[in-house]
Amino acid sequence: MWDKNKENELRQLVKDSGVRLLEENLVQGTWGNISARLDEDHMLVTPTGLDYNHLTPEDMPIVQISDPSVWSDGKKPTSERKIHAAVLASRPEINACIHSHPVFATIMASCRMPLPAFSDELKEVMGGDVAVGAYGLPGTKKLKEGTVAAIRGRNACFMANHGVFCVGRTMDEAFNVLRVLEKNVYEYIRRMTLEKTGKTEYTDDLLFDLFVKSKS
């Protein structure tokens, strides 16, 4: 059994991390979810569909990793808890997971485009290129298995037509992975836009015009 003080600290950490996602514009509204490992078979997760600003530490349910249908305390857990459980079960060195929808990384996920490891930062922080998991509806086995396969050997992956999943040994590390991913996706999109348009200065309007042209 884990220490109660550790549980209380992690409850506060998960609560604060949800607010942090909003403050850093790394998620929209109530989307996304967070988990923190309590012990080898239990995790704290964010509840489903609730505003991060209004959550309390006591709202975070405890979910069994080996059987995420089993949970206690708090409010109803996120429907994506099976992904968090599967990743934590397969990666004993990982203690924190963030599923989110940052703007530019979600563009890549929606296009189902992998991100090559074009920078030393990506190689160091991600462990290499960032793959795209097989598409599946939220809460489904297909989405879970696709995410686990895509993040194997890496610290982040795209979830096709959906968002991103990032992991770390600590919550701060998982946040750093998410920030680095969004930053490098933006740089990659910027480079590809300039390459395809022959322009020398990037703007978001230029990206939008390129997208519209590609669909016409």
* Alpha helices for the chain (secondary structure H): 4-23, 81-90, 103-111, 120-126, 141-150, 171-197, 204-215
Residue at token pair 């850093």: 24
Which residues are identified as catalytic? 80
CB distance 170 to 95 below 8 Å: yes
The C-alpha atoms of residue 130 and residue 205 are separated, in whole angstroms, by 26
The C-alpha atoms of residue 189 and residue 176 are separated, in whole angstroms, by 20
The C-alpha atoms of residue 100 and residue 209 are separated, in whole angstroms, by 27
Q: What are phi and psi of 28, to 5 degrees?
A: -115, 130
CB distance 96 to 102 below 8 Å: no
CB distance 107 to 189 below 8 Å: yes
SS3 of residue 183 by DSSP: helix
